[in-house]
Chains A and B, each alone.
Chain A
Amino acid sequence: MSSIGTGYDLSASQFSPDGRVYQIEYAGKAVEMSGTVIGMRGKDGIVLAVEKIVTSALYEDDAATRIFTVDKNIGIAIAGLLADGRYIVDIARQEAANFRQQFERTIPLKQLTERVSAYVHAYTLYSAVRPFGVSVILASWDEEQGPQLYKIEPSGTSFGYFACASGKAEQQAKTEMEKLKFAEMSVDDLVQNAGKIIYLVHDELRNKDFHFEMSLVSKETKGLHRLNPQPWYDQAVQSGLAAKNEDDSDNEI
């Protein structure tokens, strides 16, 4: 009891005297342990990319994916506890289907984000439940609204972004992304930068192996959310490997 929470960290429904809810902060810690996940919004497309850390050589390549399709043109990337993330994805799919049933059109990403973040937030209010140990990045593109990007935190707060990151190397990825001009970025540039960032922020000393995963929604994908689409996937991996080699040779000098 004399360590960090000192009794105020056992319930999500109780504040600590200095105004914090420790359960939410612990959920944030769960996200920080996860492989890095980024989302980037360009001129006419949007890309999600994931550093999927391989915990065992016995897994198949596509096992434990962190990018999911929620509706035709909506993708979600998950940083944090994968099991929690899958449940959130299921909720998002239900909300998208519910909207479709009522209005016979795809849910605008802003509304989906509001619905899912209200759900995530509800899990920070009661002593009987724990918050979700996930950070959820939502991406979509359509003809009317263009590319859209939102992120939901374990606390249930959500914002729209030009580019966002979660997981182990959140800070490093953000620093890389701040160098870029997203408003005028083409899909090809977006994809190459996504590959570059994920390969650069991967820490070979802590986790030796990872699997690069990405998805794309844009006009080029006919407005569909596509996981590891060709030829973009290869483009991303190539520019990622090139960036990494350059970085390594810098270190040798």
Chain B
Amino acid sequence: MYSHNNFIQTELWKGGPVPGQFYNFPGTSQDINAGNITAPGLYGSNRSSSPITTGTSVIGVKFDGGVMIAADNLVSYGSLARYQDVQRVFKINEKTIIGAGGDFADFQSLKRSIDQKMVEDMCYQDDIEMQPKSLYNWLTRILYNRRSRVNPLWLEMVVGGMQDGVPFLGHVDLRGRAYEDDVVATGFGKHFALPLVREQISEGRLLSQSEASQVLRKCMEVLYYRDCRAISKYSVAVSTAQGTIVQGPFEVNQNWQLATLVKGY
């Protein structure tokens, strides 16, 4: 009797999650249930070709006397807003802060290594701390090495802090590509947030600390409206000559009065 249990309407779930199988995220062409993840197939082995639990944009801005990095507190599982109270910006030591977008598991594993490095730093008992440029450079080596093994850490990282008393801000991605700038962003932020910040620093003038936190607030607001992988809660890591601190979570300003006028969706 139960061998023909077609009373379960499988059609209803078509394209959705199947019990006992991995979920294929929309937008990825690869079928992860095909069994060719690590076993060498016809075209070689095929691994880490998409992230699983992800963070979206991170934005970093230099201001006169420091650096700020902001990211919302969401870690998504595909399009599901799975973990809504997770820090994605961190204090590494009194001179260095980082923010991470991309695969959050990859980031957590990387951060363990970084934290252990900071302990080793302290064991020297010489009061010398790692500076952001060293971490930035180290990350380029790690990420480039992993991309060369065709098994990248699926990350887009923002590194900031005080390098010999001068603000430093850099960006490293999953291929090990890296650049420094007065303002950097990852993911969707590159499209939405960068122009908003650049507007404010057009004459090559650095922002003040309060201007920087205002412009970051505006960026997080815009990203919340336009990026479907963002939420309204965000945190900010700040590095100045006085040290580093993670502030927040803050709530973005939102106004949905217009929503009633939107038609046709």
Question: Do A and B make up one complex?
Answer: yes
Which A positions have Cβ atoms within 8 angstroms of B? 65, 68-72, 93, 96-97, 100-101, 104, 224-225, 227
Q: Give a binary string over B89-123; 1 marks a CB under 8 Å from any A CB, 0 the rest.
A: 00000000000000000000000100110110011
* A residues less than 8 Å from B123 (CB atoms): 68-70, 93
Contact with A along B108-141 (1 / 0, CB 8 A): 0000100110110011010000000000000000
B77 CB to nearest A CB, Å: 21
- Per DSSP, chain A at the interface is mixed
Beyond A68-B125, A70-B123, A100-B115, 6 additional pairs, beta carbon < 8 A? A69-B122, A69-B125, A72-B118, A72-B119, A97-B116, A224-B122
Sample (18) of A-B pairs whose CB atoms are under 8 Å apart? A68-B123, A68-B125, A69-B122, A69-B123, A69-B125, A72-B118, A72-B119, A72-B122, A93-B123, A96-B119, A97-B119, A100-B112, A100-B115, A100-B116, A101-B112, A104-B112, A224-B122, A225-B122
Contact of B116 among A70, A101, A224 (CB under 8 A): A101
Give Cα A158–Cα B109 distance, bound, in whole angstroms: 34
A149, B75: Cα distance in complex, Å: 40
Min C-beta distance of B170 to chain A, whole Å: 26
CA distance A101 to B119 in the complex (A): 12
List the 5 closest A-B pairs by CB distance, nearest first. A227-B125, A69-B123, A69-B122, A69-B125, A71-B119
Most B C-beta atoms less than 10 A away, residue of A69, A93, A97 = A69
Please give, as numbers and ranges, the residues of chain A lying within 8 Å of B125 by CB-CB distance.
65, 68-69, 227
Q: Please name all residues of chain A whose beta carbon is closer than 8 Å to the beta carbon of B118 when the two chains form the complex.
A: 72
In angstroms, how far is the closest chain B Cβ from the Cβ of A72?
6
Cα distance, A169 to B107, chains bound together (Å): 51
Give the nearest-CB partner of A93 in chain B: B123
The smallest C-beta distance from B263 to any residue of chain A, in angstroms, reads 50
> Size range of the interface on B?
under 10
The smallest beta-carbon distance between B229 and chain A, in angstroms, is 26
CB atoms of B122 and A100 under 8 A apart: no
Query: What is the minimal beta-carbon distance from B207 to any residue of chain A, in angstroms?
Result: 30
Most chain A CB inside 10 Å of its own CB: which residue of B115, B116, B123:
B123
Cα–Cα, bound, A214→B125 (Å): 12
Instruction: Compute how far the CA of A227 lies from the CA of B116 in the bound complex, rounded to whole angstroms.
Output: 20
* Chain B neighbourhood of A72, CB < 8 A: 118-119, 122
Closest chain B CB from A104 CB (angstroms): 7
* Cα A104 to Cα B113 with chains together (Å): 11
Chain B residues contacting A97 (CB-CB under 8 Å) are 116, 119
Q: What residues on B are CB-neighbors of A69 within 8 Å?
A: 122-123, 125
Residues from chain B with a CB closer than 8 A to the CB of A96 are 119
Bound-state Cα–Cα, A146 to B116, Å: 23
Report B-chain residues with C-beta under 8 Å of the C-beta of A225: 122
A71 to B119, CA, bound (A): 6
Chain A, residue nearest B118 (CB): A72
**B113 CB, min distance to chain A CBs, angstroms:** 9
Minimum CB–CB distance from A203 to chain B (whole Å) comes to 28
Q: Which residues of B contact A93 (CB under 8 A)?
A: 123
| CB-based nearest A residue for B108 | A104
A227 to B124 alpha-carbon distance, docked (Å) = 10
Alpha-carbon distance A2/B118, docked complex (angstroms):
55
Nearest B residue to A228, CB-CB: B125
- CB-CB contacts of B208-237 with A at 8 A, as 1s and 0s? 000000000000000000000000000000
The docked-state distance in angstroms from the alpha carbon of A71 to that of B115 is 11
Query: A65 to B112, alpha carbons, bound, how many Å?
Result: 29
State the Cβ distance, B119 to closest chain A Cβ, in Å.
6
Q: How far is the CA of A69 from the CA of B125 in the complex (A)?
A: 7
How far does the Cβ of A120 sit from chain B's closest Cβ, in whole Å? 20
How many Å lie between the Cα of A100 and that of B98 in the bound state?
A: 20
Q: Which residue of B lies closest to A224 (CB)?
A: B122
A104 to B116, CA, bound (A): 10
B116 — which chain A residues lie within 8 A by C-beta?
A: 97, 100-101
- Give chain B nearest CB distance to A245 CB in angstroms: 30
A211 CB → nearest B CB, Å: 15
Q: Tell me the complex Cα distance, A101–B116, Å.
A: 8
Shortest C-beta distance, B228 to chain A (Å), equals: 31
Q: Which residues of A are found within 8 Å of B115, using beta-carbon distances?
A: 100
Q: Which residues of B contact A100 (CB under 8 A)?
A: 112, 115-116, 119
- Closest chain B CB from A201 CB (angstroms): 25
Docked pose: A97 CA to B112 CA in angstroms: 10
B118 to chain A, nearest CB (A): 8
Q: How far is the CB of B246 from chain A (nearest CB, A)?
A: 15
Shortest distance from the beta carbon of A58 to any chain B beta carbon, whole Å: 22
